[in-house]
A and B are shown apart, each in its own frame.
Chain A
């Protein structure tokens, strides 16, 4: 089992973050806006490298890995995806294999990988279309395919479903869940507390750059916490203002 352990601080943003992520687990990160969720994710994704403390991947410090090695193990799906050119779906997904040098994975194998994820995520009918003409939901699936094509050990996703229609929200989360069941770790910033309760194995609640709770969803997101942090509570199955 793979693990990422964080023990970090970042001036003015994160005061003390101490979390352990495991593969095979879908961890949701929730918290009010500006609480530092995205910063944490970017630090794990090796995008932000200025922080104090340390992150370890399988008990070995991040700094001892090369960027490419980490990129092969951990992939990141940002919240806003603007693709500069009207690349084809196939090419966008293929870009997910950039961390793998040709020696490791030749073009033929890369093509095979891309084709199998196109199959897995049911993208066949767009494969040669430009990503720019796809709907937001379809494009999210393409970006997810890009993040998954290298078979990462961890997927980091920053609110992957918050701007999507219900169909794609469930569709994307189920695709991730399927991967988690076969051993991948997922760390997902969630906006929707209902979906967090439903899909996450673990929910980390962050406020003001601090971990407040890190437990099973029904404990992390019990009414007392919800009231205190988000000023909402459950009334039966419905979230209401408290």
Chain B
């Protein structure tokens, strides 16, 4: 039956777009590894000694690769979780950083890290972030119940963010390390700098598990866009679905934040830009949002490395400079379509 030829064409266009995004991502990954303060190619051409080879090995393996993979994982998580939460709350403003999940994940990580609990076992630090994230989402659900009005979501997010930020600051002040108090910037704005492969190994399995949980429940996002009751009448067990999305997002966001700090707005900007290209279909939007999030974070990271400001800019500064005006635009957009 090909009465509506464009429908199949739509699918074709969507898949093509996803493949294009994927190739852009690959290009950026390679660029991110090759690009930096040290010009690899020049170095290789000028000197072929073993010393230089060793230097390049350490440079790629210990500095550039961890940073690049971290940008990929963090960006993908922020993008896919943004799309998932917007699907769950049926609201385009439900971004992990707006609703306060990022900052409370930061609080959980800070408590574990600065009191020296991170070495208890390998995944202790991400676990702190995950617990923080879960608490935030639970509080949001408790407060908003099924009232998903935009205002309530934003206000709840503001309350949770301020509260977690304050407690983060308090924890840093109470920490025995004299450096801690100056590290609030990292936790509030995030950074990908100076991380090593161990950090990447610590969060990758947990984060990817989060993505899988979200992607496996994807068909219900479309059902949910027709309303909670309609979705339930279609066979959705809302409580189980909610728990899956909360746990999936908390696993991803919580562990990412525990290593990169709170990078905001990616989950807000990326799904919104891609949504019309995927016919507003919330389930088709998940994977592209992940890829798009990784692209945006890699671009932001390459940008701050290009800027060459010393000390390096926090990456959250760049995402917020793009994201915050976008957030205001979105509020107007929502006002317009609701009117």
A-chain residues with CB within 8 Å of residue B224 when the two chains form the complex? 84
Contact check, A84 vs B4: say whether CB atoms are below 8 A apart.
Answer: no
**Is A47 touching B233 in the complex (CB atoms < 8 A)?**
yes
Given A84-B90, A112-B1: A99 touches B280 (CB 8 Å cut-off): no
Asked if residues A67 and B236 are in contact (CB atoms below 8 Å), the reply is: yes
Known: A71-B234, A127-B4. A91 touches B227 (CB 8 A): no
Q: Is B15 in contact with chain A by the CB < 8 A criterion? A: no
User: In the assembly, what is the distance between CA of A47 and CA of B227, in Å?
Assistant: 12
- In the complex, what's the smallest C-beta–C-beta distance from B248 to chain A, in angstroms? 20
Take A82-B227, A84-B90 as given contacts and tell me if A75 and B233 are in contact as well, using a CB distance cutoff of 8 Å: yes
The reply to whether B235 and A42 contact each other, CB–CB distance below 8 Å, is no
Q: Tell yes or no: A78 within 8 A of B by CB.
A: yes
Sampled A-B contacts (27; CB under 8 Å): A46-B232, A46-B233, A47-B232, A67-B235, A72-B235, A76-B233, A78-B227, A83-B226, A84-B91, A84-B226, A84-B227, A86-B337, A87-B279, A88-B279, A91-B280, A91-B281, A95-B223, A95-B225, A96-B234, A98-B220, A98-B223, A98-B234, A108-B1, A115-B1, A128-B4, A128-B6, A130-B280
Query: How many A-B residue pairs lie within 8 Å, measured between CB atoms?
Result: 96
Q: Which of A53-82 contact B (CB under 8 A)?
A: 66-68, 70-72, 74-76, 78, 80-82
Residues of B within 8 A of A92 (CB): 226
A42-B229, A76-B229, A82-B227 known; A67 vs B237 contact (CB < 8 Å): yes
B181 to nearest A CB, angstroms?
Answer: 43
0 or 1 for each of B76-110: is its CB under 8 Å from A? (1 = yes) = 00000000000000110000000000000000000
By beta carbon, the residue of chain B nearest A113 is B1
**Secondary structure type dominating chain A contacts:** mixed
Closest to A102 in B: B219
Across the interface, which residues of B come within 8 angstroms of A81, CB to CB?
226-227, 230
Contact residues in A for B91 (Cβ distance below 8 Å): 84
Please encode chain B, from 1 to 35, with 1 for each CB lying within 8 Å of some chain A CB and 0 for all others: 10110111000000000000000000000000000
Q: Which residues of A contact B226 (CB under 8 A)?
A: 81, 83-84, 92, 95, 146
Partner of B229, one of A68, A78, A91, A108: A78
Among A84, A99, A127, the residue within 8 A (CB) of B225 is A84
User: B222 near A98 (CB under 8 angstroms)?
Assistant: yes
Task: A83 to B231: give the CA distance in the assembly, Å.
Answer: 11
Chain B 284-304, CB-CB to A under 8 Å as 1, else 0, gives 000000000000000000000
Identify 20 new A-B residue pairs, CB closer than 8 A, beyond the known A45-B233, A71-B235, A84-B224: A47-B229, A67-B236, A70-B235, A71-B233, A72-B235, A75-B233, A82-B227, A84-B91, A84-B227, A85-B282, A86-B337, A88-B279, A91-B279, A95-B225, A95-B226, A98-B234, A98-B235, A99-B235, A115-B4, A130-B280
Contacts of B305 in A (CB 8 A): none
Q: Is B244 an interface residue (CB 8 A)?
A: no
CB closest chain-A residue, reference B1: A112
* Min CB–CB distance A240 → chain B (angstroms): 36
